[in-house]
Amino acid sequence: MPRHAAYVPHGVIPAVLLPFQEDLSIDEAGFRSHLRDIAATEGLSAVTINAHSTEVASCGFDEQRRVLEIAQDEIGDRLPIVHGVWADGSLEAARIARMATAGGASALLVFPPAVFTLGQSPEMALAHFKRIADASDLPIIVFQYPLATGQGYPRDTLLRLCEEVPTIRAIKDWAGNVQQHEVHIRVLQSLPRPVNVLTTHSAWLLSSLVLGCNGLLSGSGSVIPDLQAELFRAVREDDLAAARRLNDRIYPLARIFYSEPWSDMHNRMKEALVLLGRLPRAVVRPPLVKLSRGEVDRIRQALVEAGLLGRETGRNAA
């Protein structure tokens, strides 16, 4: 299967959604169409699968493998594929890493084990990542959670990971704290072997990008990959006026996608794609449930404010 050699995670990387049928099985036709829509966007560097946005917590190993097969078949010749590694145990994480490598993925996005909510040591984190690195030679993206969750890696641990696991090439930074986020950017991207910071602070994306991130990895890219790519380019070109105009369009969607509860963010994105005519239905797997009519109406209004849905269309749909 195609694999993009020497890929270093950087730039704009949408995390795609995973459509389901009414019986909760994977909607393969809908997924293929969604992948094609995203991959047609100019300015992307890769696409992420089997992550939060694809409801990976509710997908079994074989389903994750099938998601990778479909993605490779549809877009693998055009874009590198970043494969999530969601597992609470290191042995299962290594098994997923081997599967992703054999299936042609170009990088791994490693989620923190849930057990770390009860506390972690640097040795635990190192053991987890070394087990994955022993199973795959793919570049690794460390998913950095907020420290308050217990699953975030303190700076000293993060630096040890970067030093002792050479295949770590980026972090997906969800620190949630501006000062910590800036430290990550300044320190990690200046290491002798630089580690790129990919922001996932989509609720305040412009503010994050201007600090100097070398990329972004975001589920909202499943709805607005073009706006994200244009914003990233504008910031890189120091065109603040253009960046602010783009941010004004992104803001209404960020406000609704990332409202409480955050666990519904990708549920809302599915509803947005239905309203835009890009998905046939917005079905999520339990424990997520269908959004209320009022919330769908608020998503519709945000799409109108972002200029993605005509005002007349929005009124008629209401």
- pLDDT, tens digit, for every residue of 30-88? 999 999 999 999 999 999 999 999 999 999 999 999 999 999 999 999 999 999 999 99
Output the six-digit token pair for 318: 């209401």
What span, in angstroms and rounded, lies between the C-alpha atoms of 174 and 181?
8
What pTM value is reported for the model?
Answer: 0.95
Query: What percentage of the chain exceeds 70 in pLDDT?
Result: 96
Amino acid letter at 276? L
Domains of the chain listed by start with CATH number: 11-237 (3.20.20.70)
What span, in angstroms and rounded, lies between the C-alpha atoms of 59 and 74?
20
Chain segment 268-302, per-residue pLDDT in tens = 999 999 999 999 999 999 999 999 999 999 999 99
Chain segment 239-269, per-residue pLDDT in tens = 999 999 999 999 999 999 999 999 999 999 9
Neighbours of 196 (CB within 10 A): 21
In DSSP terms, 20 is beta-bridged to 26
